[in-house]
Amino acid sequence: MRSLGIRLAAAGLVLALVAGCSSADAVPPEPPVVVVAPSEVSAVVATDAPEAPAFSTIDTEGRQVDLADLWATGPVVLVFFATWCSVCVNRQSEFSNLAERYGQVAKVVGILGQEKVPEVQTYLADHAPGFPVILDEQLKIWRDYAVAEPPFVALISKDGHLVKGWPGGAEASEVQAELDQLLSL
């Protein structure tokens, strides 16, 4: 009886140590199902909204990004973010899914501010945004859109009207609701 008690105590001690000093194995979440928006939709032009500042630059892949070309075909979502901003990181996959959902009818563009190049490379490798990312080192685009700190999201209608800005960021679902209105979905 005494030996059983000692054995139980030893087993309990081992369990307690294991529980106290290691994290439980996390079950990886299942990837969300992205519903792609129809490719044939009519985009609303928000003529009552102010004109959005245009820019033309290259993204982190060296591709030309001309904002006026993008809004000529449909709405554009600008996501101002930073590699060190945990709110931005937590919402990255949401906006990647948003870009995939509206791939043919609306565009998402990510805009980083002053960053260290290795950290940008690591971030892009880790998160694979799935949309063009611009490195705005001089903060010109940030200032044009009055971005004080990340995250900040701006929604531009077809033909370049600034419909809405979310200082402090937005859930992708909020942006999606606005986009659906602009696309009459």
Partner 1 sequence: MLVTRASGKPALGHGASPRLRRSWTTAVAVAALALGAVSCSADEAAPATSPMLLLIKDKSLRVPDSECSGVIPLNYLHNGADYRVKDSSGKVLGTGKLPPGKAIPALDVDFGKAARIPTFCSMSFQLPVGTVGDGLSLLIEDAAPIALKVATDPAGFTASIPDNDDAASIPLGDLGGGR
Q: How large is the greatest C-alpha to C-alpha distance in the chain, in angstroms?
A: 85
Q: Which of 126, 144, 149, 171: binder of partner 1 (CB under 8 A)? A: 149
Peptide bond before residue 151 is cis, with ω within 30 degrees of 0: yes
Least Cβ distance, residue 6 to partner 1 (angstroms): 4
Closest CA to 78 of 148, 170, 159: 170
Of 41-49, 57-65, 127-135, 147-155, which segment contacts partner 1 by CB under 8 A? 147-155
Single residue of 19, 34, 148, 177 touching partner 1 by CB under 8 A: 148
Question: Which three-class secondary structure state does DSSP give residue 20?
Answer: helix
Residue 3 in the binding site for partner 1 (CB under 8 A): yes
List of residues 6+ apart from 67 with CB closer than 8 A: 52, 54, 55, 56, 76, 109, 156, 160
Question: Any idea what DSSP says for residue 46?
Answer: -
Residues 22-81 that bind partner 1 (CB under 8 A): 22
Question: Which residues, numbered 74-103, are part of the site for partner 1 (CB under 8 A)?
Answer: 82, 84-87
Binding site for partner 1 (CB under 8 A): 2-3, 6-7, 9-11, 13-14, 17, 20-22, 82, 84-87, 113-114, 139, 142-143, 148-150, 167-168
